[in-house]
Amino acid sequence: MTSAFTPFPSHLSNRILCCYVNTTTQIQKAKILTIPNWLFERVVFPHQRLLFEALPDAFLEIHSCAAAGEALLGKIPCFHLQVSERSLVMAGSSILHDDLQTDSME
């Protein structure tokens, strides 16, 4: 599996910050193919959060990854994945809380 990233085109000013979470136990590949002159392809491990910039009208494709090849699981409008600064702060504090609990259990 490969991960590819090219810088987001600087002339596109209406970009939004998005977050996708792989809630499965399988490795997935996330792709955005709907923005001209831009390639976005990332491997997303189980339970991993993926933060990325996109255009509101772009679509994030989610593919399953298996030995037999890839299969398209679905397309998600990026505006559905848009996050705000407040949601990032809340997510960050829950991650920190989870890490603290894990550390105290060891």
State the amino acid at position 12 in one-letter form: L
- As a whole number of angstroms, the distance between CA 75 and CA 96 comes to 31
- Domain range summary for the chain, segments of one domain joined by +: 4-105
Percentage of residues in the chain with pLDDT exceeding 70?
70
At the topology level of CATH, where does 4-105 sit? Immunoglobulin-like (2.60.40)
Q: What pTM was computed for the model?
A: 0.71
Compare 15 and 49 and report the one with higher pLDDT: 49
Query: pLDDT tens digit string along 24-48?
Result: 999 999 999 888 778 899 999 999 9
Q: Which residues contact 104 (CB under 8 A, 6 or more apart)?
A: none
| pLDDT, position 61 | 96
Q: Is 39 helix (H, G, I), strand (E, B) or coil?
A: coil
| pLDDT, position 85 | 66
